[in-house]
Structure 1
Amino acid sequence: MRRKKCLATLTMAAMVAASLAGCGSSGEKTDNSQAAVSGETTVSDSGEKKKDSGSATVVSMWHMWSGSEAEAFQTVIDDFNASQDEIEVEVLASQTEEKMLTAIPSGDGPDIVHTSDTTCSKWAQAGLLSTLDSYITSENVNVDDIYPSVYALGTYGGEQYGLPYTMDSYMLFYNKGVLDELGLEPPKTLEEMAEMCKQVTVKDANGEYTRLGYVPDYPWIDRVEIPYLFGAEFYDFESDQVTCTSDEFKNALNYKAQFYTEYGIPEVTKFKSGFGAYASNDNALFQGKIVFSIEGEWFENFINLYAPDDFEWGAVQVPVTEAKPEIAGCGRLQGSLLSIPSTSKNSDAAFQVIRYLTSGDAYVKFCSLIGNLPTAYSALESEDLVKQAPQLEPFIESVLEGKAKAFPAVPFSAEYSDIQGLEEQAVYSGDKTVEEAVESMYEQLQPLADEWKNAR
């Protein structure tokens, strides 16, 4: 299809997880001035903050969205504040996890935090979050309505510390104009995609690349996606073992490495260095420098905003390895959660806000505004969601197949991702073999798994 002109908001491309180490020692005092609502606040005998102008409980919420996403969220919060008189929500946008980690232990932090999939279990382990189980029971939250592997992101030690809010899933976007020119259909297996990449590769008169089929570390998404599509797992909860040394994991990394080794590591590295900013007109796919890219549901918005008017594109479910056709659709889900810090003075009211945000029309409205997927089946199946954000429809269909899964909910998932990324880069640069890289991953990660096991 050609680029369509429409008004669209961008979704979050990535959420960077901050490590606990050193995060609370900066001495920085969090400035809450941006969160102030009209009317002064006082503290009641019970510790709950009250507006002088009325009896509403003031609930503060910090989140990581900015720009158009923050504006969309504020719209939903404004709807909530206008809908009742008992709770007034103050919002502080564009907050990093490091700032949250500084504020929460001091007691000056928010009543609700927006956390990433690599954050919730780690913060729960550190005692920074309150369990939500009593609220889930008393408010009759239907946990069966929530996508299971994303719900697990909020679980630690058998208790729930976060309710899933939004999630991303992924498809293979491709330059349809190039495939049509060569008489090619989108690939049905990863191996077919690798062969197709040879056909679409172009060099100039000097022998330098002007187009490649696929670059495995552009933008960043395939780190978890491709291993899942080879049938790999990252962690075994029964044995508490990191499973990055499995044959499936090595097959996935070998698959990705070929896009450097078979095309020349120096040549691919040089070509990639010329890629422009991801969220811009210079995106490598839009510029015709690559033909395939694994992207999330936000990407059609990117196309509408940044791609040339004559850019022809298509998107299909990311194919799996030909050796395991039965796992089609088992790619990655990436989620965010809403949690209540352990130092919240307004936890009862805070959960009422979380319930509002994660259910009904408000939930559908926010997800459609920012182009993210909701984590509840009832919202995913809502006709209003597709009407308001039609670009989500193929992602919804893929997710409802039920095979996609989030990264395992371990408290060292951020470290897992960082270490995996560094080891994969060592393979792409030719500094390590795949065997060396996965062994190094295991040696660094298994002690973290053992530490977690011993602490439970």
Structure 2
Amino acid sequence: MTNLRALFATTALVACGTAALAEDMTITVWAGGSNDADSYRWESIEIAADMLEREYALQGEELNITVEAKRDFGGWEEFKQAVTLAAEAGTAPAIVVTSHLDIAPWSQAGYIVPVEDYLDLDAWPLNDIYPNLMQIAAYDGVQWGLPQDAESRPFFFWKETMKGIGYSDADIDALPAKVASGEYTLKNVLVDAKKAVDMGLVEEGYGFYPRVSNGPDFAQFYQSFGGVLQDPETGKLVLDKAAMEEMYQFFVDAVAAGVTRKNHIGTEWSQWYNEVANGKAALWHGGTWHYARYTGQEGNPDFFGTIQFSLIPAGNDKGHANTITQPLVYLLTDQQDDKVEEVAAQLLKIASEPRMNALHAIKSAHLGITKQESNIELYSNNRWAAEATERLLGTANAQPNHLQYGVFAETMWKGLEAAWTGVQTPAEAVAAVEAEMTAKLGDELIVR
């Protein structure tokens, strides 16, 4: 009888505990730079919420999570302004999906909290995320966020044009390995691009067809000539004058050779996409996400039959073949209720599992964030995802999470634009860049 009463008492306590623990919670997610193809940036959080509710239920607790998502902000500037204003007002969304470059300023401003305070980074699935991607989501020795996706910025070759200048199918197949080893360099790019123009295979100015506006891509060419963006010991930004001048000179030489247009900068993106996707350019550089646009909107149904891709070639013996990844990251914002931060962190962990992240990677033509993602059939059976991951992602680096990197990147672009368009010589442009960077960055800049 005593045991029976104890059983009833325990049951009552469990029932009361369950009622006491029932909780309704709203988790708001704001995703910058996203469209319909990127819907799993927030839908993965919705799926994770359902899973977490079920886990709580099996432990005798009731947690009802409502996920409210927003992705229409007009553009990146509007998105970042909205996040900043909301954080200042104490109404920031629990989760933001944004560029890793926001980590430095937002952490210093107190807008975000470290994910490492809530998650075991050495446990599954976080211990399976590529280490270089985790480093990109960290700043000043602290793991502030988790990579939401990955991408890379490869170099592209139009196969038919390469055959026209003398390459065999075997030669074209061997290009990615030759680029990676440094056997095929940017010098070869200029030679091949000029052949394509001189032979009339592409129009003048279409031998090498670069990106038409500023972006992370151009830091890759700086690295191709031995440039380093950040000193690993001090964390300071680095201006390597020789590497910068040689990078500028490469684009000046491309214009002089007639393989790149002097007025190329500012070309409409819609025009550029259509031209490179359909063989009007011989060689160019872009992003892994371009695959979806080339094969979709731009009407190229045979990507692998028409295009070869590789790392960005080295420029000289001091540099190396490379690619930059610009992953978006999940960040947790500072909330009045710590429980919201705890639950949001758990949702990020679940959303980072290989099968979950593969949904986003395949739908949006991005790359996966975890090693085991390559074992998910949805991912491994997708030729683009599989080959791009193997060829590019493992060695990808990123622009540094530094409070003043935006100044560095913008100044580097101004110098390139001045040299490219003939306003200054490469040497003059670098001198102007050094003066401006030194004035604006001060002790945070190392000049070599």
TM range (shorter): 0.7 to 0.9
SS of the equivalent of 2:149 reads: strand
1:362 is matched with 356
The answer for the alignment partner of 2:292 in structure 1 is 301
CA RMSD of aligned residues (A): 3.2
Residue 110 of structure 2: SS of its match in structure 1? coil
Distance (Å, rounded) in 1 between the aligned partners of 2:329 and 2:387: 23
Identity over aligned pairs, percent = 17
Give runs of aligned pairs for residues 10-25 of structure 1, distance below 5 A. none
Note if contact 1:121-1:153 (Cα within 8 Å) is conserved in structure 2.
no
Aligned partner of residue 274 in structure 2, secondary structure: coil
Deviations 1:339-388 (A, max 9, x none): 1112463111110111111124211222222111122323355444222x
* Structure 1 range deviating more: 281-290 or 158-167: 281-290
Is the aligned partner of 1:55 residue 2:23? yes
Amino acid at match of 1:316: F
Q: Is the 8 A contact 1:191 1:322 kept in 2?
A: yes
Give the corresponding residue for 2:218: 223
Aligned pairs for 1:224-243 (under 5 A) are 224-243=219-238
| Alpha-carbon distance, 1:155 to partner | 2.3
After TM superposition, the score normalised by the length of structure 2 is: 0.77
1:419 aligns with 2:402: no
Counterparts of residues 12-411 of structure 1 (less than 5 Å): 55-85=23-53, 86=63, 87-95=65-73, 96-137=79-120, 140=123, 145-184=128-167, 185-186=171-172, 188-201=184-197, 209-210=203-204, 212-218=206-212, 220=215, 222-263=217-258, 268-270=261-263, 275-278=267-270, 283-286=274-277, 288-308=279-299, 313-321=306-314, 323-324=316-317, 327-328=320-321, 330-343=322-335, 345=337, 346-380=340-374, 382-387=376-381, 389-399=382-392, 402-411=394-403
CA distance in 1 between partners of 2:112 and 2:336 (Å):
9
Structure 1 residues 306-345: Cα deviation after superposition (integer angstroms, max 9, x where no partner): 33458762222135337449944x3212111111112463
More helix by share: 2
Would the alpha carbon gap of residues 445 and 136 (structure 1) be closer, same or farther in structure 2, given more than 3 Å must change?
farther
Deviation of 1:107 (Å): 0.9
Aligned with residue 436 of structure 1, among 395, 409, 428: 428
**In structure 1, what is the Cα distance between the partners aligned to 2:35 and 2:87?**
24
Name the amino acid aligned to 1:269: K
Kept in 1, the 8 Å contact 2:126–2:352? The answer is no
How far has the Cα of 1:193 moved from its partner?
A: 1.2
Deviations 1:32-83 (A, max 9, x none): xxxxxxxxxxxxxxxxxxxxxx733211111114432343445434423443
Distance 1:132 1:80, change over 3 A: closer
Question: What's the secondary structure of 1:373's corresponding residue?
Answer: coil
In structure 2, list runs of 5 or more residues that go unmatched.
1-21, 54-62, 74-78, 176-183
Counterparts of 2:311 and 2:223 in 1: how far apart (Å)? 11
TM-score by length of 1: 0.75
- Asked if structure 1 preserves the Cα contact closer than 8 Å seen for 2:419 and 2:429, the reply is yes
| 1:110–1:344 CA contact under 8 A, matched in 2 | no
User: CA–CA distance in 2 between the matches of 1:115 and 1:80?
Assistant: 19
> How far apart are residue 99 of structure 1 and its match?
1.1
Mean alpha-carbon deviation: is it higher for 311-320 or for 224-233? 311-320
Q: Which has the larger radius of gyration?
A: 2
Contact kept? 1:130, 1:161, Cα under 8 Å: yes
Q: Secondary structure at the match of 1:152?
A: helix
Report the secondary structure of 2:23's partner residue: coil
SS at match of 1:253: helix
